[in-house]
Amino acid sequence: MSWTRSVDIGLSTHLAGAGIGLTYRPDGAYTVTETGIVHKRMPPSPDRVVVLTSYVVSGEGSQSDLILGIQARCRGVPDDPHDVDDIADDLYAVLHGAANLWAGDALLASVWRQSHTSMGSDTAHRWETSSNFYAVTAHHSAHALD
């Protein structure tokens, strides 16, 4: 398993176990009432979903220490613009200020939310937000996030 995949799965597992109502299944199959965690791409369902995407902010090249970006794109139920804020606020409560958090093979020494914005609603009237969390970590390969 690649370092990046390990981090994504580890972070998803941590969030699912944090008691904030999120569910993570590697196959991405969720019931309509669950709030699912997926990676990289927004699925058509369920309505409530968190899409995690990891990326390098700084420290690529020969350095092993880096700032890892984690975009958390959230979507809520139709016609309720505040539902998505509830999801984003729960993520903030778990991740912002976290220290020494293991996400798969990576120790995230410190985590903070760098930015947050509304992304409007999709064609099904489901509101979306995007939060960018940064984490100080290290990896063993300069190309781990390619």
Provide the sign of the torsion angle of the four alpha carbons 35, 121, 86, 133, taken in this order.
positive
**Cα-flanking dihedrals φ and ψ of residue 59, to 5°?**
105, 10
Taking only the tens place, the pLDDT of each residue in 42-61 is: 999 999 999 999 998 887 55
**Domain 3-138 class in CATH:** alpha beta
Taking only the tens place, the pLDDT of each residue in 80-134 is: 999 999 999 999 999 999 999 999 988 999 999 999 999 999 999 999 999 999 9
- Identify whether the C-beta of residue 43 lies closer than 8 Å to the C-beta of residue 49: yes
pTM: 0.91
Return the domain boundaries, the chain: 3-138
Taking only the tens place, the pLDDT of each residue in 29-39 is: 999 999 999 99
Grade residue 146 by pLDDT with cuts at 50, 70 and 90: very low
